[in-house]
Amino acid sequence: MKIIDCDLSQAEAIRAILNDAIVTSTALYDYHPRTPEMMAGWFEAKRKGNYPVIGLLDQHGRLMGFGSYGPFRAWPAYKYTVEHSIYVAADCRGRGLGKLLLEQIIARARAQGYHVLVGGIDSQNEVSISLHLRYGFAPAGTIRQVGFKFGRWLDLDFYQLILPTPAHPTDG
């Protein structure tokens, strides 16, 4: 297994993982699969924001999962807070890949001087909730019936990890 910084050459593999999550789960509160054009825009936004896209490759170079983060909210005072996401290919789940990706997300956020990592997790996603709790994330609230997918209302739980960074935060 190899950890990499993903680029456009992994866009199609990332799109396949995302699209599977969109059509089969409540991991994303989205209805429509992503297009190649959407992925190009997504990668451009990550590049402009200096946000990592971290991937895990198997021994054959196949992307098994990825994680990233981006802005939590658009207001300037949130500049030290990012919201992350982790997705693992359906046939690769249960192997501890989410753990490896979350470790990388935490390390990168710390290295970039972020102070808070936020994860928005469907309240029924016990695996992701358990993973985040194991890494010190604390429950930060639930928004009830905020999503509607697969014919039912969905609750979104927020979890946060406060990091000891940055060393010298500033306003502005």
Per-residue pLDDT reduced to its tens digit, 8-27: 999 999 999 999 999 999 99
- The tokens for 149 are 């997918």
Count the domains in the chain: 1
Q: What is the pLDDT of residue 58?
A: 97
Take residue 76 and report the two structure tokens written for it. Answer: 């300037």
At residue 156, the pLDDT reads: 98
Opening angle at CA 139, ends 131 and 161, nearest 5? 70
Does 43 fall in a domain?
A: yes
Residue 82 located in a structural domain = yes
Q: What are the structure tokens assigned to 35, written together?
A: 């297009």
Q: Cβ distance 128 to 121 under 8 Å?
A: yes
Q: Which helix (H) or strand (E) holds 119?
A: strand 116-122
Q: Domain range holding 139?
A: 2-162
Would the pLDDT of 131 be above 90? yes
Using an 8 Å Cβ cutoff, are 77 and 56 in contact? no
pLDDT in tens, 106-124: 999 999 999 999 999 999 9
pTM (2 decimals)?
0.96
Q: Closest Cα partner for 5 from 58, 55, 63, 46? A: 55
pLDDT at residue 37 greater than cutoff 90: yes
In a domain, 136, yes or no: yes
Q: Which of 167, 151, 65, 53 is nearest to 114 (CA)?
A: 167
Give the per-residue pLDDT at 42: 96
CATH number at residue 49: 3.40.630.30
Is residue 79 domain-resident?
Answer: yes
Asked whether residue 135 is domain-assigned, the answer is yes
- Does residue 167 lie in a domain region? no
Give me the half-sphere count of Cα atoms (radius 13 Å) on the Cβ side of residue 147. 19
Residue 172 has pLDDT above 90, yes or no: no
Q: Tell me how far apart the alpha carbons of residues 61 and 55 are, in angstroms, rounded to a whole number.
A: 11
Q: Is residue 147 predicted with pLDDT exceeding 90?
A: yes
Task: State residue 59's pLDDT score.
Answer: 96
77 falls within a domain: yes
How confident is the model at residue 135, as a pLDDT?
Answer: 98
Burial of 56 (0-12, 13-18, 19+ CB in 10 A): buried
* Within-domain flag for 172: no
The tally of CA atoms less than 13 A away on the side-chain side of residue 55 is 20
**Residue-wise pLDDT tens digits, 50-107:** 999 999 999 999 999 999 999 999 999 999 999 999 999 999 999 999 999 999 999 9
